[in-house]
Structure 1
């Protein structure tokens, strides 16, 4: 039942947070020499005006497709790792979360590659033009045919750099917050507490790994149209800092933090309700405390 609840909760989080993620990606990868957007809110308005509200949901198919597999991996690995460690402590929560984050990157990296490519497709266009990719699956198929397994896993190292500590921080912070807030069955303020804990957790976990997410987005967006700008992670960091300064590592951060709270709040509220109705009030909330869904934090994640 944890698996089903996590999938439904994650889907709710993706639906709520995807528009913010689209804005984040657009801001992270836009050219500093000829930027289309002046900031987060200008980006929102421009996308809606030029591409309609559906422009904010470009690439949503990819995270939705990978949701089941990612949640299954995260819940399974984290739970088993925690049992192997023997004690439910904050430190073990971090270790188990880090393990889950590393393993789920196998699915997360190709999923986010397709999402990023779809989000960048038709950037700034007022009138629709022929699209290179029909959907997220078609995007991955085309990348595989052109570049093989390496192409589909572009950005894997930066994904691991982001996900391993990101999930560790996520599980640690959520565990500490729920313990501190006294999230106990029967507490009439339990759901508001879970909403608050989940939202704050999402913000903290994104802040802990955001620079890695910027580089990941740039590497995964690189090569659209057949032109590659970066030869490696180090080259991407070097070029980005040289052209835009260290502030480049906060590009799109406002959109990400605005997204982090409602995404995690929606995820945990949905998971809680599903478990309460499925298992009863006494067992549902108790289980929810150890159920995590969405990174960015990126289940998303970032999220």
Structure 2
């Protein structure tokens, strides 16, 4: 039931947060010489006006498809790592989260590659005259046929650099916040407190790794239209900083932070309600500290990125 609840909660998070993720990616990869969007609000407005509201949901198939596998990996690795470490401490929560984040990159990287390519497809067009990719699976298949496994795993190193500390910070932040909020078994505000903790943990996680996410998005979007601009991670960083300054690493940050809180709130709310319904109130968490292992292994951060 934990696995089912986590998957459904994650799906709810994707539905809530995907429009913000589309805006984030568009802002991160747009040309500095001919920018299409002036900021987060203008990007939202332009996509809806030019591509309809469905433009905000381009590429949603990829995170939805990968969700079950990612949640299974995160929950299994995080739970087993905590059992191996033996003690439920903030540092162990960080280490377990980091391990889960690192291992799930195997699924996360190709999923985000397809998502990014689909989000960039038909930019500014209500009805694309020529669609390069029919859907996320077709996108990955075409990339594989053209570039092999290396192409499907484009951005793997940056994904690993982002996800490993990102998940560690998420689980650590959630652990610290839930302990400090001190909810009781009969506390009528217990669920809102858990939602707040999850949302704030999501924001903390994104802030800790956001510059890496900008580079990851640029590398994964590189090659759309047949032109490759970057030869490596270092080259992407150099070119980006030279052309746009260090503020390039904050591109799309507003939409990401706007997305982080409701995504995690939706995930936590859905998971909590499903578990309460399935198990009954008497088997629910007795206090915040006792709830830590179960909640940490049940709820995946979405981002992200992103998976967060």
The alignment's TM-score, normalised by the length of structure 1, stands at 0.97
1:19-75 deviations in Å (ceiling 9; x for gaps): 000000000000000000000000000000000000000000000000000000000
The aligned residue for residue 238 of structure 1 is: 238
The aligned residue for residue 63 of structure 2 is: 63
8 Å contact 1:277–1:284 — kept in the other structure? no
CA distance in 1, matches of 2:222, 2:273: 41
8 Å contact 1:186–1:282 — kept in the other structure? no
Aligned-residue offset at 1:129? 1.2
Query: Partner of 1:282: helix, strand, or coil?
Result: helix
Aligned-residue offset at 1:301? 1.4
8 Å contact 1:13–1:266 — kept in the other structure? yes
The aligned residue for residue 301 of structure 1 is: 307
8 Å contact 1:98–1:167 — kept in the other structure? yes
The aligned residue for residue 292 of structure 1 is: 299
CA distance in 2, matches of 1:274, 1:97: 23
The aligned residue for residue 204 of structure 2 is: 204
1:231-289 deviations in Å (ceiling 9; x for gaps): 00000000000000000000000000000000000000100001001111132444336
How do residues 177-196 of structure 1 correspond to structure 2 at under 5 angstroms?
Answer: 177-196=177-196
C-alpha RMSD of matched pairs (Å): 1.1
Unaligned runs of 5+ in 2: 286-290
8 Å contact 1:93–1:171 — kept in the other structure? yes
Aligned-residue offset at 1:290? 4.7
Unaligned runs of 5+ in 1: none
The aligned residue for residue 79 of structure 1 is: 79
The aligned residue for residue 268 of structure 1 is: 268
2:173 counterpart of 1:173: yes
8 Å contact 1:23–1:40 — kept in the other structure? yes
Aligned-residue offset at 1:130? 1.7
The aligned residue for residue 46 of structure 2 is: 46
Aligned-residue offset at 1:297? 4.0
Distance 1:67 1:284, change over 3 A: farther
Q: How many residues align?
A: 301
The aligned residue for residue 222 of structure 1 is: 222
The aligned residue for residue 136 of structure 1 is: 136
8 Å contact 1:19–1:56 — kept in the other structure? yes
The alignment's TM-score, normalised by the length of structure 2, stands at 0.96
CA distance in 2, matches of 1:127, 1:274: 39
8 Å contact 1:118–1:135 — kept in the other structure? yes
CA distance in 2, matches of 1:46, 1:203: 26
The aligned residue for residue 16 of structure 1 is: 16
Distance 1:78 1:184, change over 3 A: farther
CA distance in 2, matches of 1:111, 1:234: 23
Aligned-residue offset at 1:159? 0.1
The aligned residue for residue 5 of structure 1 is: 5
CA distance in 2, matches of 1:112, 1:185: 39
CA distance in 1, matches of 2:164, 2:183: 26
The aligned residue for residue 151 of structure 2 is: 151
Query: Partner of 2:62: helix, strand, or coil?
Result: helix
